[in-house]
Amino acid sequence: MLLIPAIDLKDGHCVRLRQGDMQSATVFSEDPVAMARNWVAQGARRLHIVDLNGARSGKPVNEPVIRKIIAAVGEDVPVQLGGGLRDLDLIERYIDDGVRYVVIGTAAVKNPGFLQDACSAFGGHVVVALDARGGKVATDGWSKLTGHDVIDLAKKFEDYGVDAILYTDIGRDGMLTGVNIEATVELARAVKIPVLASGGIRDIGDIERLCAVEDEGVEGAILGRALYEGTLDFREAQARADALRA
């Protein structure tokens, strides 16, 4: 089980939101680069970065900070990046900068042809984010709920050639109420590509529950508020996940 610390960027700061609400942002660090170094020092094997401003505006906002993070952590720790990735030129620029995986959410849902083009041009580097409430996908920084079913879209995007699906239960995100195991497993069983779990992960018990369904296709998890508020210790969590897999 790959545990991935999240660094959410808003106005150049490292923050966490509750249920995607930009007005509820809690600033956890004024120095996201130092935060990235901290997670790598604790053994992180990948980092998840989100340009929250970009997710809302549809264009990159925190690019200078993102470049500094990539330079700081080096090539040995892959960075996956989401938020406002809505044109191929921007994706190409970020991959050239050293981003290993681009996470496409809103643009994939609103413009499936764009996602197909991205998979064709950048195969091996594309993750789709499906953010859902009650089984229906949300877009535009979670501000708009669509009528699209999560599993239906996941199967469609799998056919396009995406490398993984990042599934977030937005009703739980940032709330520390526990990961939605049932919905995550249901999705993982419906596709053959890896699923990354996100939203609500609180403590080591959630990590153990995720590890128990790893063979179903849930191969990783994004860790956010739990790390920043101290309800989960990253080093301990990754060690426990590794031990359960051994």
The mean pLDDT of the chain is 91
Cβ contact 82:105 at 8 Å? yes
**Looking at 8, 51, 173, 206, which residue is catalytic?**
8
Name residue 17's amino acid: L
Rounded to 5 degrees, what are φ and ψ at 32?
A: -60, -30
Work out the widest C-alpha separation in the chain, in whole angstroms: 44
* Between residues 185 and 14, the one the model is more confident about: 185
As a whole number of angstroms, the distance between CA 167 and CA 146 comes to 15
* Between residues 136 and 79, the one the model is more confident about: 79
How much is the pLDDT for 176?
62
As a whole number of angstroms, the distance between CA 212 and CA 79 comes to 26
pLDDT at 141 over 90: no
pLDDT at 13 over 80: yes
Element of type H or E holding 145: strand 144-149
How much is the pLDDT for 58?
76
Q: Is 8 labeled as catalytic in the residue annotation?
A: yes
DSSP 3-state assignment of 24? Answer: strand
DSSP E strands in 84-125: the ranges are 101-104
How much is the pLDDT for 110?
92
**Looking at 131, 169, 173, 206, which residue is catalytic?**
131
Distance of CA 190 to the CA centre of its chain: 20
Q: Is 173 labeled as catalytic in the residue annotation?
A: no
Model pLDDT for residues 204-226, shown as the tens digit of each residue: 999 999 999 999 999 999 999 89
pLDDT band at 18 (very low <50, low <70, confident <90, very high): low
* Between residues 27 and 129, the one the model is more confident about: 129
Determine if residue 102 is left, alpha or beta; phi over 0 gives left, psi from -120 to 50 gives alpha, anything else beta.
beta
Closest alpha carbon to 150 in 172, 135, 129: 135
How many Cα atoms within 13 Å fall on the side-chain side of residue 167?
A: 34
Model pLDDT for residues 155-208, shown as the tens digit of each residue: 999 999 999 999 998 866 555 667 889 999 999 999 999 999 998 899 999 999
How much is the pLDDT for 139?
83
